[in-house]
Amino acid sequence: MLSVTDLFSIGIGPSSSHTVGPMRAACAFAAFAIAEAAGRAVVRVTCTLHGSLSLTGRGHATDRAVQLGLMGWMPDAIDPDAIGALLDGLAQTRRMALGGRIGVDFEPARDVVFAPDFDPGHANTMRFAAVFDDGAGCTQTWYSVGGGEIRAADAGAADGANVAVPYPFETAGELLAQAGAAGLDIAALVAANEAARRDPAETGAFLDSVHAAMSACIDRGCRTGGELPGGLSVRRRAPSLEAALVAESGDPALAARHMMEWVSLWALAVNEENAAGGRVVTAPTNGAAGVLPAVLRFYERTTPGADRAGVHRFLLTASAIGMLYKLRASVSAAHLGCQAEVGVACSMAAGALCAVLGGSNAQVENAAEIGMEHNLGLTCDPIGGLVQIPCIERNTMGAIKAINAAWLALRGDGQHVVSLDAVIETMRQTGEDMGSRYKETSLAGLAVNVGVKVPVNIVEC
Q: Are residues 213 and 137 in the same domain?
A: no
Question: Is residue 361 a part of any domain in this protein?
Answer: yes
Q: Are residues 274 and 197 in the same domain?
A: yes
DSSP 266-322: HHHHHHHHHHTT-EEEESS-STTTTHHHHHHHHHHHHSTT--HHHHHHHHHHHHHHH
Residue 71 burial (10 A CB sphere; 0-12, 13-18, 19+): buried
Q: Are residues 177 and 231 in the same domain?
A: yes
Q: Are residues 400 and 251 in the same domain?
A: yes
pLDDT at 86: 96
Question: Is residue 159 a part of any domain in this protein?
Answer: no
Question: Is residue 165 a part of any domain in this protein?
Answer: no
Question: Is residue 6 a part of any domain in this protein?
Answer: no
Q: Are residues 81 and 204 in the same domain?
A: no
pLDDT at 156: 59
Q: Are residues 187 and 275 in the same domain?
A: yes
Residue 333 burial (10 A CB sphere; 0-12, 13-18, 19+): buried
Q: Are residues 177 and 139 in the same domain?
A: no
**Cβ contacts of residue 391 below 8 Å, gap of 6+?**
271, 275, 287, 338, 382
- The answer to whether residue 39 scores a pLDDT higher than 50 is yes
Q: Are residues 132 and 264 in the same domain?
A: no
CA torsion sign for 196, 199, 200, 206 is negative
DSSP 331-368: S-HHHH-GGGTHHHHHHHHHHHHHHHTT--HHHHHHHH
Question: Is residue 167 a part of any domain in this protein?
Answer: no
Q: Are residues 232 and 127 in the same domain?
A: no
pLDDT at 461: 26
pLDDT at 456: 44
Bond into 22 cis (ω within 30): no
Question: Is residue 420 a part of any domain in this protein?
Answer: yes
Identify the CATH number of the domain in which residue 128 sits.
3.30.1330.90
Q: Are residues 74 and 178 in the same domain?
A: no
Q: For 257, which DSSP code? A: G
Q: What is the mean pLDDT of residues 303-313?
A: 97
Residue 124, domain extent:
17-146
- Given 146, 161, 190, the domain boundary residue is 146
Tell me how many domains the chain contains: 2
Judge contact between 398 and 293, C-beta under 8 A: no
**Torsion angle (degrees, nearest 10) of CA 215, 219, 224, 230:** 20
- Given 146, 164, 183, the domain boundary residue is 146
- Given 130, 146, 162, the domain boundary residue is 146
Question: Is residue 459 a part of any domain in this protein?
Answer: no
pLDDT at 150: 95
- Min mean pLDDT across 49-63, 284-298, 304-318, 444-458 is at 444-458
pLDDT at 256: 61
> What is the pTM assigned to this prediction?
0.91
Q: Are residues 263 and 326 in the same domain?
A: yes
Q: What is the mean pLDDT of residues 222-242?
A: 95
Instruction: State the average pLDDT for the chain.
Output: 93
Question: Is residue 444 a part of any domain in this protein?
Answer: yes
pLDDT at 1: 86
Judge contact between 302 and 282, C-beta under 8 A: no
- The answer to whether residue 458 scores a pLDDT higher than 80 is no
- Min mean pLDDT across 91-95, 136-140, 152-156 is at 152-156
Q: Which among 22, 432, 10 has a CA at the least distance from the CA of 216?
A: 10
Q: Are residues 141 and 178 in the same domain?
A: no
CA torsion sign for 144, 319, 416, 180 is positive
Q: How many CB atoms lie within 10 A of CB 427?
A: 27
- The answer to whether residue 161 scores a pLDDT higher than 80 is no
Judge contact between 187 and 355, C-beta under 8 A: yes
Give the model confidence (pLDDT) of 349-363 as tens digits. 999 999 999 999 999
Q: Which among 134, 90, 80, 145 has a CA at the least distance from the CA of 112?
A: 90
Determine if residue 250 is left, alpha or beta; phi over 0 gives left, psi from -120 to 50 gives alpha, anything else beta.
left
Which amino acid, residue 147?
G
End-to-end CA distance of the chain: 39
